[in-house]
């Protein structure tokens, strides 16, 4: 393919090539034909990921290629993800995380030229380093000591509690995230003047002339799955019930995204069987297909797995395997993606992540909680990583590449898992937690998690609306 493109006078950037590999061959050929017809004679054209997003790559208003030709998967780890199981992979994995995040830092002026940690000496007035957090300790006087590491060595910095501004920054830090530090060396310790996250700029909002519906955590198969409420939701999607205004919104719905925990699974936590109505995973997906199959078929349904689904439990989770969810695969309007994944809905980029790591964030960072998961989502965007903490509740697979790094900044970040709705616009990005269709379980009672049930966020032409189905 690359060879052909080169002969035709195209240069393909690696990222664009990765994406083209995920597209149907026919779609790629269409794009190329369109680009060819638009360029001037003999001009060399560089195919960037942006080119794939623009209208110039699409047949002009010609929708013959199908109703859904504007849906694209931009990032999916299902096929890329593999591990050899060797110990060395752990090193590779963290190196990949470090290097990807370092690159994001280096795009920022002040960190263009960081110093290897092994070179740090008292001779430097100002040191600028990028390191992965290895350990965070409190001294007996309640100051903070943070140990960071790069491929050349490790060093600790100390933040005094009297330094309010920096102490607040230090309180946000979590193990295994990658940060930038500016400061000077005093004895064994770096005294920082700045602690910096990779961060992200404010993005330009993308206009949408359609509606997208977000749900998660239906937990079909559980006795606590709210079937009646879910059926009402589907009736609304099919424009059969609701106020005139709500039916109008339903008419505009083009996409439905399901961010994991579609079914309750089996053996996810002790004594779960007691709360199961359907005790077989295949049958749970069969039931899911029976319900979801009622949805009108001009709505594209995008399904990612969660920790209750029949995918590998370690993240990144490949798409739900067909062998478990055949009836769902057989619906003609379903698409299966990994957790996490990024899809483009007519050019609007949606980062889908179930949200398992939110438990770790809520437990570790003082001001974060399950109830306000939008704060966690904003924090993860600033850290540019979906699951920074290694070795707590979120199992991570040692991939050669760390796919949980947030390389690409989305227009929408959609998550679930905590079973509590949340919404916030942050730096132009819609942060959406879509709650649940499962009433409180015995397990959640113990942890005092009070779910918000049947509340469905809808982005209607760019505005968020939450519709209730109870």
Best CA proximity match to 343, nearest among 103, 142, 82, 72: 72
Stretch that binds Fe ion, among 89-97, 98-106, 217-225, 372-380 (CB under 5 A): 217-225
374 near ligand D5M, judged by CB under 6 A: no
Token pair for residue 191?
């005294």
Residues 401-430 that bind Zn ion (CB under 5 A): 417
Give me the 222-251 binding string for ligand D5M, x by CB under 6 A, dash otherwise.
------------------------------
CB of 368 to ligand D5M, least distance (A): 13
Q: In whole angstroms, what is the distance from residue 433 CA to residue 415 CA?
A: 5
Q: In whole angstroms, what is the distance from residue 45 CA to residue 35 CA?
A: 9
Stretch that binds ligand D5M, among 25-33, 283-291, 328-336, 444-452 (CB under 6 A): 444-452
Q: Which of 58, 417, 430, 460 binds ligand D5M (CB under 6 A)?
A: 417
Tokens 């149907």 locate to 24
| Residue 345 interacts with which of Fe ion, Zn ion, ligand D5M, none, CB < 5 to 8 Å by class | none
307 near Zn ion, judged by CB under 5 A: yes
DSSP H/E element including 371: none
287 near Fe ion, judged by CB under 5 A: no
Q: In whole angstroms, what is the distance from residue 312 CA to residue 93 CA?
A: 18
Q: Which is nearer to Fe ion, 203 or 449 (CB)?
A: 449
Stretch that binds ligand D5M, among 81-89, 241-249, 296-304, 442-450 (CB under 6 A): 442-450
CB of 438 to Fe ion, least distance (A): 7
Q: Which is nearer to ligand D5M, 217 or 402 (CB)?
A: 217
| Residue 418 interacts with which of Fe ion, Zn ion, ligand D5M, none, CB < 5 to 8 Å by class | ligand D5M
For 142-172, give the secondary structure using H, E and C. Answer: CCEEEEEEECCEEEEEEECCCCHHHHHHHHH
| Residue 232 interacts with which of Zn ion, Fe ion, ligand D5M, none, CB < 5 to 8 Å by class | none
> Widest CA span of the chain, in angstroms?
74
Q: Tell me if the bond preceding 340 is cis, omega within 30° of 0.
A: yes
Task: Mention every residue, 6+ apart, whose C-beta is less than 8 A from residue 214.
Answer: 256, 257, 259, 414, 432, 434, 456, 457, 458, 459
Q: Which of 176, 177, 261, 382 binds Zn ion (CB under 5 A)?
A: 261
Burial class (CB in 10 A: 0-12, 13-18, 19+), 449: middle
Best CA proximity match to 181, nearest among 138, 145, 127: 127
217 near Fe ion, judged by CB under 5 A: yes
264 near Fe ion, judged by CB under 5 A: no
370 near ligand D5M, judged by CB under 6 A: yes
Q: How many CB atoms lie within 10 A of CB 192?
A: 23
418 near ligand D5M, judged by CB under 6 A: yes
CB of 218 to Zn ion, least distance (A): 11
Write the DSSP assignment of 261-286 as a string of letters.
--B--SSSSTTGGGGBSS--HHHHHH
Instruction: Please report, as ranges, the residues that interact with Zn ion according to CB under 5 A.
Output: 261, 306-307, 417
Instruction: Please report, as ranges, the residues that interact with ligand D5M according to CB under 6 A.
Output: 217, 261, 307-308, 359, 370, 393, 417-419, 444, 447, 449
């Amino acid at each position: 393919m690359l060879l052909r493109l080169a002969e035709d006078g195209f240069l393909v950037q690696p990222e664009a090539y990765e994406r083209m590999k995920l597209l149907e061959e026919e779609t790629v050929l269409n794009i190329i034909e369109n680009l060819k017809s638009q360029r001037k004679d003999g001009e060399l054209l560089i195919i960037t990921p942006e080119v794939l997003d623009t209208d110039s790559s699409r047949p002009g208003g010609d929708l013959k290629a199908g109703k859904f030709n504007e849906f694209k998967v931009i990032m999916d780890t299902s096929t890329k993800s593999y591990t050899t199981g060797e110990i060395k992979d752990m090193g590779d994995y963290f190196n990949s995380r470090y290097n990807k995040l370092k690159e994001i830092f280096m795009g920022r002026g002040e960190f263009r030229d960081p110093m290897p940690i092994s070179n740090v000496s008292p001779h430097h007035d100002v040191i600028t380093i990028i390191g992965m957090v290895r350990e965070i300790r409190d001294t007996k006087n309640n100051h903070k000591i943070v140990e960071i590491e790069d491929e050349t060595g490790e060093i600790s910095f100390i933040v005094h509690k009297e330094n309010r501004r920096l102490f607040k920054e230090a309180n946000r830090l979590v193990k295994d995230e990658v940060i930038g530090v500016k400061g000077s060396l005093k004895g064994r310790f770096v005294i920082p003047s700045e602690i910096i996250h990779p961060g992200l700029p404010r993005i330009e909002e993308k206009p949408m002339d359609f509606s997208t519906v977000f749900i998660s955590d239906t937990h079909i198969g559980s006795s606590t799955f709210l079937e009646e409420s879910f059926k009402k939701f589907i009736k609304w999607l099919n424009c059969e019930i609701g106020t005139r205004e709500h039916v109008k919104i339903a008419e505009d719905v083009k996409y439905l995204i399901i961010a994991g925990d579609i079914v309750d699974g089996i053996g996810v936590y002790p004594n779960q069987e007691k709360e199961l109505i359907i005790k077989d995973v295949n049958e749970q997906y069969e039931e899911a297909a029976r319900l979801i199959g009622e949805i009108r078929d001009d709505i594209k349904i995008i399904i990612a797995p969660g920790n209750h689904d029949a995918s590998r439990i370690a993240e990144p989770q490949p798409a739900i395997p067909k062998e478990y969810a055949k009836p769902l695969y057989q619906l003609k309007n379903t698409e299966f993606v990994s957790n996490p994944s990024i899809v483009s809905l007519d050019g609007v980029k949606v980062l889908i992540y179930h949200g398992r790591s939110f438990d770790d964030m809520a437990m570790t960072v003082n001001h974060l909680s399950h109830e306000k998961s939008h704060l966690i989502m904003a924090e993860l965007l600033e850290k540019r990583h979906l699951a920074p903490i290694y070795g707590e509740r979120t199992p991570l697979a040692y991939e050669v590449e760390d796919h949980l790094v947030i390389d690409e900044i989305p227009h929408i970040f959609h998550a679930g898992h905590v079973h509590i709705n949340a919404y916030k616009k942050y730096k132009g990005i819609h942060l959406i937690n879509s709650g649940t269709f499962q009433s409180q379980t015995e397990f959640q009672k113990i942890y005092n998690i009070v779910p918000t049930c049947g509340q469905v966020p809808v982005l209607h032409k760019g505005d968020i609306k939450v519709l209730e189905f109870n």
